[in-house]
Amino acid sequence: MAEHMRIMLPGPTPCPDEVLRALSRPMINHRGPEFVKIVNACTEGVKWLYQTKNDLLTLTTSGTGAMESAVVNVLSPGDKVLALVSGEFGKRFAAIARAYGADVDALEVPYGEPVTPEIVASKLDEGTRYAAVLLTHNETSTALLNPIAAIARVIRERLPDTLILVDAVSGMGTAPLPADELDLDVVVAGAQKAFMLPPGLAFASVSPRAWEAYQHAKMPRFYFDYGKARDFLAKGQTPWTPAISLFFGLEVAVRLLREEGLDGIFKRHERLMRMVRAGARGLGLKLVVSEERYASRAVTGIYAPEGMDPAVLRKTLQARFGYVVAGGQGPLTSTIFRVGHLGYYDEADMLGLIAALEATLVSLGEDVTPGAGVAAAQAELMPTKAMAW
């Protein structure tokens, strides 16, 4: 039998059939009225998920390109920037700013721990006037959700004019991130995540404060220029030929997301996260992020059992059951694996993954009580727990 591959990665994630089928539509003119309707519907849908009235630009790029766009459109070489780093993606954001000549202070926390408002307050109270602070919403490498709301508050209290640039590439749509309410200046997100779309499109919301900064920002830019994107968006277009097929898919995806509703989307991601965490603990496995409030709603990082190479675990899980989970990154590469649960996933997917993980551990000689993981995951579905939501 052909392998039935079941990806459970922190992106790309599976896509609804309706979205995938939309990708096969014949090409249309990206300068014609048909495409204008699609661009406008997509833009409105993404703004809804962002909970923003700011301009929302859609770029044909990977998430990393969107992160670069956030930096180069609002900063100048030499600008003092504070990068809050809780993992590989926080490091990447800082590296991008450095590549374009920003003077970056990196505030790093140990892998698996969040950036807390207290640490940020203490850093800002040293008195440096930063042009921008770089934040990671969901730090995919350590499967961590940073307390963005509290951090943003701490920044705003101390530096009312400082730009807050947020990498929400993997986090947008998995946990509330109301860009306007939190007064965030640029928030970037990737379509291959909670948006349930294949990779290739990314988004950036741009606040009035960010547009003001754009006027004076001197970092070089062309392809990622927000001003050009805004001018063309006013006509329902993009400055450069966009990934038209992905726009076809995005139009469908945002409709599906709106049908589910913001509350439904966020609660689903939270519930799936709880199921995976409970299931892993039921199997005697240790979680990278111990406190649930900091646990990513997009991906869960789990330590392999003592003495077991996580690469062997992942390989066995895929060979026997078709589940594809991610490895660790950076210093966690040799100790953890990561289960993605963002995007087009439901409870049955999590039960299936935990059951297969359980069977895999048993087959590798681990002392696991068959059924223990699934039982623990199921407990998260019990009425009392559900009612608590």
Positions touching its own copies (CB under 8 A) are 5, 7, 9, 11-15, 20-21, 23-32, 34, 60-65, 68, 95-96, 99-101, 190, 192, 198-200, 219-223, 239-246, 324, 326
Both tokens of residue 150? 């509290």
State in angstroms the smallest separation of the CB of 225 from its own copies: 8
Amino acid at site 119: I
In angstroms, what is the C-alpha Rg of the chain? 21
| Of residues 100 and 294, the one with the C-beta less far from its own copies | 100
| Of residues 23 and 152, the one with the C-beta less far from its own copies | 23
| Of residues 164 and 191, the one with the C-beta less far from its own copies | 191
Contact 164, 196 (CB under 8 A): no
| Of residues 17 and 125, the one with the C-beta less far from its own copies | 17
State in angstroms the smallest separation of the CB of 219 from its own copies: 7
- With a CB cutoff of 8 Å and minimum separation 6, the contacts of 1 are none
Cα–Cα separations (whole angstroms), residue 65 to 29, 98, 361: 25, 15, 38
State in angstroms the smallest separation of the CB of 22 from its own copies: 8
State in angstroms the smallest separation of the CB of 59 from its own copies: 9
Contact 332, 210 (CB under 8 A): no
What is the Cα–Cα distance from 71 to 23, expressed in whole angstroms?
31
Q: Is 212 helix (H, G, I), strand (E, B) or coil?
A: helix
| Of residues 99 and 312, the one with the C-beta less far from its own copies | 99
In DSSP notation, 227-274 reads HHHHHHHTTT--SS---HHHHHHHHHHHHHHHHH-HHHHHHHHHHHHH
State in angstroms the smallest separation of the CB of 344 from its own copies: 10
What is the Cα–Cα distance from 365 to 173, expressed in whole angstroms?
38
Q: Nearest CA to 342 among 13, 20, 47?
A: 13
| Of residues 51 and 64, the one with the C-beta less far from its own copies | 64
Q: Which helix (H) or strand (E) holds 350?
A: helix 347-363
| Of residues 45 and 340, the one with the C-beta less far from its own copies | 340
| Of residues 220 and 264, the one with the C-beta less far from its own copies | 220
| Of residues 144 and 197, the one with the C-beta less far from its own copies | 197
State in angstroms the smallest separation of the CB of 31 from its own copies: 8
Contact 314, 325 (CB under 8 A): yes
End-to-end CA distance of the chain: 41
State in angstroms the smallest separation of the CB of 149 from its own copies: 27
β strands within the chain, DSSP E: 6-8, 55-60, 80-85, 103-108, 132-136, 138-139, 144-145, 163-167, 186-190, 201-206, 299-303, 323-327, 336-340
State in angstroms the smallest separation of the CB of 357 from its own copies: 17
Q: Nearest CA to 187 among 129, 130, 221, 226?
A: 226
State in angstroms the smallest separation of the CB of 293 from its own copies: 28
State in angstroms the smallest separation of the CB of 321 from its own copies: 15
Cβ atoms within 10 Å of 320's Cβ, excluding its own:
12
What is the Cα–Cα distance from 97 to 75, expressed in whole angstroms?
9
| Of residues 222 and 389, the one with the C-beta less far from its own copies | 222
Both tokens of residue 54? 């700011």
